[in-house]
Amino acid sequence: MTMLFVNATQVVTCSGPGRARRGAEMSDASVLTDAAVAVEGKKIVRVGPAEILLREYAEAEQVDCAGCVLTPGLVDSHTHAIFGRPRYEEQEMRAAGVGYMDIARRGGGIHSSVSDLRTRSEDDLFALALPRVLRLASYGSTTIEVKSGYGLSVEDELKSLRVIQRLGRELPVRLVPTWLGAHEIPREFREREGQRGDYVRYLIDEMLPQVAAEKLASFADVFCEPGVFSVEESREILSASRGAGLSLKLHADELEPHGGAELAAELGATSADHLAAISDAGIAALAQSNTVATLLPGTMVFLGKEKHAPARRLIDAGTAVALATDFNPGTSPTFNFPLILTFGVSQLHMSVAETLIAATVNGAAALGLANRTGQLAAGYSADLALWEAEDIREIPYWYGDRRCMGTWARGKACHARRPSDNLNYTHRHNSTMRG
């Protein structure tokens, strides 16, 4: 089936090379007016002047964008959507001055989610995760990375990854699975002296081989932070993961400068994520590498932190910068990717074009997908988002509002809000669509 997206006030293509954008490249989102987008099956086949495409695709089913803004579907390259209960009590604890690591020592934090997830069946986790992924899509995301990491045992990590696999079969949204068995040292390995090393061996010798054998993950990730995994432990786990065929990600320098960014660059990781406490050496290392710096400002806002990742310094140094939600039950319980764009502008001092490139092309690069999605161009996946706006600058401006009117992933509808009012699928003979 051929579809023609018409009557958008702006078509924001983000078109260009199929790789991460750097420096001044991030300032060009390629905004077109009087343009249309032709889709055949799963692919975009043409983007160009509406007058020409209406003639060339006269038989196509038309999607009336009704004066809204059409963009690439957003690429959320960092989420933790597989979990059980929310952890709302921790927000009040933080408001009372209890720190992140203190909450963990009191039995909260990641350990709380681990204890909860281990009691749940695969079917239970699937039932919880399904509406979450759909809600993420309702805010404009068509590609979503999803991590494990709340199981921390072979059985429970495999269970979590199988849920992601099931979601990918059930939904049109593109899901990218990441194994995060190195999210924390589980309590049973913290109880006696010397057990940390045993957990690293358990990850490498027992958990990783089964994840790889079942082909359950595209990436391996490690939380490299003081009190969690050291740089040397992270290097060992990630090197073994690469040997098992997985690409690499890294939670790096979130709370303290710890050398995570430098390690990500050294190993050629696809992305280094968080980076609120990145050092000058870390910025220099990323700028000289192909590693994407994925920034998660929603996390720092929710945690009440004043210090954010130095987006301007990273961009000006030549680092490819992406944005993502970090959707998780403890430190960033938001489905709202456009809100992250708002924080990109207001907290990270990025331009609107930079935030959009960070949420599309560079988000795709952070998943190794920049040659497949993240832009509206011929040959790319038909991943689109439609916004109730007349100008792309409205998306981060109306902060907190859900302006997304519809999303399509690989040519299939993922989300439509009040479709009878806003998305009119009509044949060419409908005269209201021809004027």
- Distance between CA atoms of 170 and 164, rounded to whole angstroms? 10
Phi then psi for 75, rounded to 5 degrees?
A: -115, 105
Contact predicate 135/335, CB 8 Å: yes
Which DSSP state fits 341? H
**Architecture of the domain spanning 2-72+372-433:** Roll (2.30)
pLDDT above 70 coverage of the chain, percent: 95
pLDDT given at position 424: 43
Instruction: Indicate whether 430 pLDDT > 50.
Output: no
CB count within 10 Å of CB 132 equals: 18
Instruction: For residues 176-197, give the mean pLDDT.
Output: 88
Structure confidence at residue 101 as a pLDDT band (50, 70, 90): confident
Same fold, 2-72+372-433 and 75-365: no
Query: What is the per-residue pLDDT for 193?
Result: 67
Confidence of residue 432 (pLDDT cuts 50, 70, 90): very low
pLDDT at 428 > cutoff 90: no
List pLDDT tens digits, range 377-399.
Answer: 999 999 999 999 999 999 999 99
Query: Tokens representing 389?
Result: 């706006």
Asked whether 392 and 71 are in contact (CB, 8 A), the reply is yes
pLDDT confidence tier of residue 245, bands split at 50, 70 and 90: very high
**Which residue in this structure is represented by tokens 């952890």?**
87
Q: What is the DSSP string of 47-114?
A: EEEHHHHHHHTTTSEEEE-TT-EEEEPEEE--B----SS--THHHHHHHTT--HHHHHHTT-HHHHHH
- Looking at CATH, the fold of the domain delimited by 75-365 is given as TIM Barrel (3.20.20)
Q: 20 φ, ψ to 5°? A: -60, 140
- Residue 400 tokens read as 């907190």
Tell me: pLDDT of 422 over 60: no
Q: What is the pLDDT of residue 421?
A: 43
Q: What are the sequence ranges of the domains in the chain?
A: 2-72+372-433, 75-365
User: Mean pLDDT across the stretch 67-79?
Assistant: 98
User: Is the separation of the CB atoms in 250 and 260 below 8 Å?
Assistant: yes
Q: What is the mean pLDDT of residues 342-371?
A: 98
What confidence tier does 249 reach under pLDDT thresholds 50, 70, 90? very high
141-147/69-72 β-pairing: unpaired
